[in-house]
């Protein structure tokens, strides 16, 4: 794995990734983040906050199922809501760029 900068942001992200080692949990996070982004897009298009609220609710539901049933830990958002939110979208971006795998952790490059 590639080691990147050793800043407080990177240290938290490393912790965040440690809390998301289970592939099913990662997949659920990716789906949840996608629901949130789709809700945001629909809210902007329609001018209504309802799709955004639904997208956020679906996103957190997916993430929490991933943690409680697959990862067997508590979501980091309970203690670090803002850092976790930012790290979730960093993880989402790493998946899209091919740095994190949704198939097997041995293919991870982000670290």
- pLDDT one-digit tens code per residue, 37-86: 999 999 999 999 999 999 999 999 999 999 999 999 999 999 999 999 99
What are the CA-CA distances from residue 110 to residues 18, 20, 92 (Å)? 12, 13, 12
pLDDT of 4 higher than 60? no
Q: SS3 for 73?
A: coil
As a whole number, mean pLDDT of residues 7-21 equals: 94
For the question of whether the overall pTM of this predicted structure is more than 0.75, the answer is: yes
pLDDT of 102 higher than 70? yes
Among 103, 39, 16, which residue's Cα sits nearest to residue 95? 103
As a whole number, mean pLDDT of residues 19-31 equals: 97
Indicate the pLDDT class of residue 5, thresholds 50, 70 and 90.
low
Give how far the C-alpha of residue 75 lies from the chain's centroid of Cα atoms, to the nearest Å.
10
Gap between the Cα atoms of 7 and 80, Å rounded: 17
């Amino acid at each position: 794995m590639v080691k990147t900068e050793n800043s407080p942001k990177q240290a938290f992200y490393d912790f965040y990734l440690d809390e998301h080692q289970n592939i099913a949990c990662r997949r659920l996070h990716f789906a949840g983040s996608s629901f949130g982004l789709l809700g945001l897009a629909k809210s902007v298009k329609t001018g209504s906050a309802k799709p955004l609220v639904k997208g956020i609710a679906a996103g957190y539901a997916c993430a929490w199922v991933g943690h409680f049933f697959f990862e067997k830990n508590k979501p980091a958002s309970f203690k670090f809501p803002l850092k976790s939110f930012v790290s979730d979208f960093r993880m989402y971006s790493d998946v899209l760029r091919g740095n994190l795998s949704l198939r097997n952790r041995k293919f991870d490059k982000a670290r």
